[in-house]
Amino acid sequence: MDLFSDGLLKWQDIFRPLTEALGVKPHILVRWFDTNTFFREPELSGRLATPGNPDGVVPDGSVPRPRVTTLPSPYMFSRAAHTDQDRNALMVALAERVLRPAIDAAVAAGAELIHLEDPWLGYVGIAREDWAPLTDALKILHRDLKATLAFHVYFGDAGPHIDQLLKLPVDAIGVDLIQTDIKELGSGWEKGLVAGVINGRSSILESPKSLVDVARHLADTVRPRDLYLSSNCELGYLPTPVAEQKVQRLGETAKAVKQLVSV
């Protein structure tokens, strides 16, 4: 691995440390897309509170550096919340008042990659008029950021959204390659590609050799500015021993790919 995380093991769901910093009560349990995992709907009705210190997003000192910090994307956060507010206005407010302070805290603690996860866009989709406020929200997160900002779409086919995704003010786009056809990614990316090549929903272990072939293919055809190898989604749907083996294979794959590149 090149970037390290604590796996968010202490987070009860992807929103919880952030909503706790906001001092809002978790709302009802809601199914997390098509998984057997449930999250507490963030209760964000009324005016967004001023958050306290987002300490919960910073891993403890045992996590090696450089680090990757995963956070909900402002689009997903605003859609998954229970609110009586305009969701696009909420999206921008969340970016400014909740996510940006969390990102700054993470960067100060050694995060070099900020990984915004967005299964909402992959699973549910996005209306045409929502791209502009999403862009505004991401501009807030990207401005003067001393880390790489990645926007990762999963639990769905990113293919139909690629053109719009590549216009977003982020450094890298993440794609769930279990759901997305590589041919749909196009070529000549001016952004990085976070390639979700490890299946976080299946206990069957990937072969590093096959993954190396996929990485080479992506490098040759998509030609992203940077290529990151990752899982297609969180690994929290896998028992720890299975997840550990998958991470191991991801590391073996990355090592083999780097050797190829250095030849």
Partner 1 sequence: MSQVLDHKPLLTHEVGSLDKPGWRVKAYAGKPLDDKDLEEARTWGERLQVPEYKRLIDLLQHAPFTKDQKAELQRWSSLYAVRLEESAGLDVVYDGEQQRTEMYDWAVSHTNGFERRGSVRAFDNKYYTKEAVVGPISLRSPFHNAEFSYLVSVAEAELKIPVTGAYTIADWSFDERNRTPENLLQPAAERARQRHAARRDFVLEVARNMIRPNLEALIKLGARWIQVDEPGASTEADELDLFVDSFNASVEGLNAMFSTHLCFSDYNLFFPAIERMEQCRQFAVGFANYDSRELGTSDEARPGYQVIKKFRDLPYKPALGLGVLDIHSDFIESPELVRDRVLYAVKVFGDPNRIHVTPDCGLRTRSWKVAYEKLRNMTAGVRMARQQLGLPTAD
The piece of 29-37, 54-62, 105-113, 141-149 that touches partner 1 (CB under 8 A) is 29-37
Residue 36 lies near partner 1 (rule: CB under 8 A): yes
Look at residues 24, 134, 31 and name the one whose alpha carbon lies nearest to residue 73: 134
Q: 56 vs 101, which CB is nearer to partner 1?
A: 56
State yes or no: residue 199 binds partner 1 (CB under 8 A).
Answer: yes
Angle CA 73–175–166, to nearest 5: 75
| CA-only gyration radius of the chain, Å | 18
User: What does 138-193 look like in DSSP terms, one character per residue?
Assistant: HHHHHTT-SSEEEEEE-SS--GGGHHHHTTSSSSEEEEETTTS-GGGG-S--SSEE
- Distance from C-alpha of 208 to C-alpha of 215, rounded to nearest angstrom: 10
Q: How far is the CB of 183 from partner 1 (least distance, A)?
A: 7
Scan residues 221-260 and list those touching partner 1 (CB under 8 A).
Answer: 236-242
210 binds partner 1 (CB under 8 A): yes
Out of 2, 23, 25, 29, point to the residue binding partner 1 (CB under 8 A): 29
Q: Closest CB to partner 1 among 123 and 151?
A: 123
CA-to-CA separations, 138 to 14, 53, 124, in angstroms, rounded = 18, 21, 19
> Taking CB under 8 A as the criterion, which residues in 129-158 touch partner 1?
157
Q: Which residues bind partner 1 (CB under 8 A)?
A: 12-13, 28-31, 34-40, 157, 159, 177-184, 197, 199, 202-207, 210, 213-214, 217, 236-242
